[in-house]
Amino acid sequence: MSMSAQQHRKHGPSSADVEERFDLPTRILRVERDQKADGTRIDYAIAQAEREIAGQELQRSINAIRDRIILAVRDVRKNMAQRTIAAKNMQVIVEDKALRQRSRFAADDLADQRLRTRFFELLARAPTYSLLQHLKDATDAGNSACAENIRFEFQCREDRHQYAATFQMILDKHAFRDPVEMRKRLANIRRVADEADARITDLLGRCTVIESENG
C-alpha cells in the first residue's frame, strides 16, 4: 500500500487517541516525536540530493535534482508546518497563568490555603511507602498541586532513603508532564521545523547558483 493510501485510510479513534486529546503533556510528547521523525526524513532527502549534486557533471542540468527534492519534502514539510501551528496553540495553554493555576488547589487564595493545609494533614498521617502510590496517582492525573506537595512531604521523611530510587523513577517517568519540560518540547517542535526550512532553502539556493554558473 502506498504512503498516501496509508495516510488517507480511515480508522476509528482508539481509547488512547481520545484520552490523548485531553492530555496535553502526552499530546506534546507525540507531536514532538512526529516532528523529529519528519525532520530526520528531510535530512535524509537533502543528504541524498547533496550526493547527487556532487556527482553531477557541470554540463548536466540540476533541474531534475531540484524538482525531486521539492517533491520529496513537500508533504513532509506541510505536516511539520501544521505541527508548528499546533505547538503555538498549545503554548497558549502552557502559559504562566495556566501553569500557576495548575499548581493550586483552588483559584481563591483562602480556599487554596485551606485545601493545601488539609492535604498536608492527610499526607502527614500516611506511611512513607504509600506516598509512592499517591505520587503515581497524582502524576497520572496531571495534578501538579498534589504532586508537588507529595514531593515536599517525601523529602521531610527520615525513612525516605529506602524508597528514594522508586520515588525518583516515578518522577522521571512523568517528567514530560512538568510545565518546564512541556515548554522545552514545544520549543523543539518549532526548532526542528525552522532547521528543516533552513536546510531546504540552502539546498535550493545552491541549485540556483550551480545553474547560473553553468548557464
Amino acid at 84: T
| Domains defined for the chain, CATH in brackets | 23-96+179-213 (1.10.132), 106-177 (no CATH)
Place 67 in a pLDDT band, splitting at 50, 70 and 90. Answer: confident
High-pLDDT (> 90) share of the chain, %: 41
pLDDT tens digits, 20-50: 444 788 899 999 999 999 999 999 999 988 8
CA separation for the pair 57, 131 (Å, rounded):
69
Q: What is the largest CA-CA distance in the chain?
A: 82
181/47: higher pLDDT: 47
Contact 80, 35 (CB under 8 A): yes
Q: What is the mean pLDDT of residues 82-109?
A: 79
The mean pLDDT of 111-139, rounded to a whole number, is: 91
DSSP-H helix ranges across the chain: 3-8, 15-21, 24-55, 63-93, 96-102, 109-124, 128-140, 144-155, 164-173, 179-213
- Read off the pLDDT band of 165 (50, 70, 90): very high
Greater confidence (65 vs 73) lies with 73
How far apart (Å, rounded) are the C-alpha atoms in residues 54 and 51? 5
Q: Regarding predicted confidence, which is higher, 34 or 101?
A: 34
SS (H, E, C) 52-64: HHHHCCCCCCCHH
Its pTM surpasses 0.85: no
Question: Rounded mean pLDDT of the chain?
Answer: 82
Q: In a 3-state reduction of DSSP, which class is residue 178?
A: coil
